[in-house]
Chain A
Amino acid sequence: MSSQPVLEIRGLDKSFGPVQILHNVALSAHAGEVTALVGDNGAGKSTLVKCIGGTYSIDAGEFLFAGSPVTVSSPREAADLGIEIVYQDLALCDNLDIVQNMFLGREKKSGLVLDEATMEQMAARTLDSLSVRTVQSIRQLVSSLSGGQRQTVAIAKAVLWNSKVVILDEPTAALGVAQTAQVLELVRRLADNGLAVILISHNMNDVFAVSDRIAALYLGRMAAQVKTADVTHSQVVELITSGRSGDLGLQNVNGVTA
């Protein structure tokens, strides 16, 4: 779609102590597109996401947001830019209701008092815009929701704030078939609404079902970022397992990218 990526990362290095986890990683996310981030267990996907979200500091690398260089050193700064992350473990409070969770830490107030009515309306509008039809009441406690519904709330929370980039870390890992389909539909809708979406998934069917681009990490290196339409299942699997597939990917595994 659009030519200039909303978010672009170049030359990102990240080490934990003596161990370098990410090597010279490049990644871009475009508005209106779903970019699938794939890679084997331990490839560094979650680490990369946490670097983007400001949870981890980076050792080297450049962030470009809508073309201009930025620094992200805390989750707050990422949120201010419009980058929202839905973590693998969701981070919802079971004892609060849907509205309370969606506004957690960013409550609307009139004076000292919480403005419940405004929050409820905004939450309802967001859920409507995502065509979410699966919750009975937005005043339901999160503890009473199913896994898919929780995932929905977490995603709705991420788009509530006029966010530009939404990153989802394995949103369907714990879900059944029907709920996975629901969540994937929602992910697609986010992109169709004009957001740049980065989706981490191990499931090739899901990846091919919703993504426009695929970025494959191999042992902390970006093996390739390609258009989904240009590759086959088995090519992506090869990229994930060996870092290269034909002339795609890392040409020698010791470093230089294609």
Chain B
Amino acid sequence: MSTTMLPGQEAAAQSPGIGGNIRSYVARVRGGDMGALPAILGLIVLCTTFAILRPVFLSAINFANLFTQGAAISLIAMGLIFVLLLGEIDLSAGYTSGVCAAVLAVTMTSHGQPWYLSVAAAMLTGVVIGFVLGALVAKLGVPSFVVTLAAFLAFQGLLLVLVNEGNNIAIRDPTIIAIENRYVPPLLGWILYVVSVVIYAAVQIVRARRRSGRGLVADPATVIAVRVGVLALLGGFAVYALNLERSRNALLVSLKGVPIVVPIVLALLVFWTFILRRTAFGRHIYAVGGNAEAARRAGIRVDRIRVSAFVICSGMASIGGIVLASQASSVDPSTGGSDVLLFAVGAAVIGGTSLFGGKGRVLDAILGGAVVAVINNGMGLMGYSASVKYIVTGLVLLLAAGVDALSRKRAAASGLR
């Protein structure tokens, strides 16, 4: 390898061992690349504060609520991250989820379709919406801000039309309801947990072995052990806590287990992370977000990448819409409206995805989604009204965007950009 150093440059990037890893992480944070740090610190501070002020925040039932309340936002944020990585924005993602939820509800109730056909119809709607938005941005060259702002208005109207000017369509299908309101049996929860941790560890170890087998720098065993350990610990705690009895009267009705939506969100997290980190398509998303002209000269079809990012965004919004419908057991003109989009953008940005493009991970959606869910939930417990919640969440989004802009400046100052 070409690893000889220039005089005056400290070794950090690839000195092996856990010390080197920590040092390079500290150097990155100092250089302005904070990654997940603000979200994790924020989560710790918020959770501690709410736990002290309102002990009920720590109850088993409230812990489960956090997951079901944060799921839809996180799903929509996951899709948004693809668009944000390109330096674009989709302001219509919230109402896209609403429109798709309405398609789900209408096809199931008025047309009597089975749940799977309705889900397919809802997702297809999302994909088509994404394709149209993407084509307008990429082919016609209309700024995404304008295209999706227009779509934001139009979809609000479309949603009204679909639900017949303000009706509330009840969802009765048990499968759809189950997503947010039923739970994985505790034993199955543990089995899924063990299998996931084992697979994660195996993937990490196999990759490190392969790399060192070929004489390349690999993650040291201690680093892998720490990663697997953290996952095992956090996952184990979550499964344990979600498997506690939540019902006031367990004899009448037992309420325990991981909400079904959780494994769905995690599966999508793994899937999209794989696409973004391990495939050429994902690499090209980052490239277009980093320097579209360089990507074009490298032979990447920039237009196609743009369109597919919007398709993924709206497609994930449709899944988010299905979860919203399940959560409320109904669809009405406000489904996916008001705060949903802002929360989703906020989740992505709080998690560490940059609004300037080129930087972000799918995991950010979960971390940021957790922060948003905790704020919402905690402030609800404190008895604050919706107005205060809106203001606080708006401020948090502004804060996250400010941190994003500042860290970019800092990176520029330290020569990292």
Binding site for B on A (CB under 8 A): 75-76, 79, 87, 89-96, 100, 104-107, 109, 112-114, 117, 120-121, 124, 127-128, 132-141, 143-144
Contact = CB atoms under 8 A, between A and B. Distances in A.
Contact of B211 (A100, A117, A138): A117
Contacts of B291: 91-94
Contacts of A90: 294
A111 to B, nearest CB: 10
A110 B248 CA distance: 54
Nearest to B415: A144
Contacts of A96: 283, 286-287, 290
A136 B280 contact: no
B290 A137 contact: no
Interface stretch (B5-13, B51-59, B162-170): B5-13
Contacts of B4: 133-134
B216 A120 contact: yes
A132 B6 CA distance: 11
Q: Which range holds the interface residue count of chain B?
A: 35 or more
A105 B280 CA distance: 8
B14 interface: yes
A90 B293 CA distance: 10
10 contacts: A89-B293, A92-B294, A93-B287, A112-B279, A113-B278, A114-B283, A117-B216, A136-B11, A137-B13, A143-B411
Contacts of B9: 136
A8 B96 CA distance: 56
A79 B287 CA distance: 19
Interface in B184-218: 210-211, 214-217
Contact of A136 (B14, B289, B293, B417): B14
B284 to A, nearest CB: 8
A94 B2 contact: no
A95 B289 contact: yes
B283 A139 contact: no
Contacts of B211: 117
- Interface of A, secondary structure class, is loop
Interface stretch (B71-79, B102-110, B297-305): B297-305
Given A96-B287, A144-B416, A107 B280 contact: yes
Nearest to A154: B294
Interface in B354-403: 358-359
Contacts of A134: 4, 6
B358 A137 contact: no
Contacts of A106: 298-299
A132 B3 CA distance: 9
Interface string B255-294: 0000000000000000000000011100110110111011
A75 B11 contact: no
B280 A109 contact: yes
A78 B217 CA distance: 35
A94 B3 CA distance: 20
A76 B301 CA distance: 12
A114 B283 CA distance: 9
B18 interface: no
A117 B14 contact: no
Nearest to B12: A136
A224 to B, nearest CB: 31
Leading 6 A-B pairs by shortest Cβ distance: A105-B298, A93-B290, A95-B290, A91-B294, A95-B358, A137-B13
Given A114-B280, A124-B2, A127-B2, A91 B14 contact: no
A91 B297 contact: yes
Contact of A138 (B2, B289, B293, B359): B2
Contacts of A87: 297
A95 B85 CA distance: 11
Contacts of A117: 210-211, 214, 216
Nearest to A157: B298
B124 interface: no
A22 B229 CA distance: 66
B234 interface: no
B299 A75 contact: yes
A84 to B, nearest CB: 11
Given A91-B297, A96-B283, 13 more contacts: A87-B297, A91-B294, A92-B291, A92-B294, A93-B290, A93-B291, A104-B283, A104-B300, A105-B284, A109-B280, A117-B211, A133-B4, A137-B13
Contact of B2 (A113, A135, A143): A135
A91 B283 contact: no
Interface in B203-241: 210-211, 214-217
Residue in A87, A104, A134, A141 whose Cβ sees the most chain B Cβ within 10 Å: A104
A148 B215 CA distance: 28
Contact of A140 (B13, B217, B299): B13
Contacts of A95: 286, 289-290, 358-359
Contacts of B1: 124, 137-138
B9 to A, nearest CB: 6
A79 B293 contact: no
A114 B299 CA distance: 17
Contacts of B300: 104-105
B295 interface: yes
A114 B276 CA distance: 11
Contacts of B2: 124, 127-128, 132-133, 135, 138
B290 A105 contact: no
A15 to B, nearest CB: 23
Contact of B14 (A105, A132, A133, A139): A139
A114 B278 contact: yes
Nearest to A92: B294
A114 B279 contact: yes
Contact of B5 (A91, A109, A136): A136
B283 A94 contact: no
A124 B31 CA distance: 26
Given A128-B2, A133-B2, A79 B299 contact: yes
B279 A100 contact: no
A94 B278 contact: no
Contact of A113 (B279, B284, B290, B298): B279
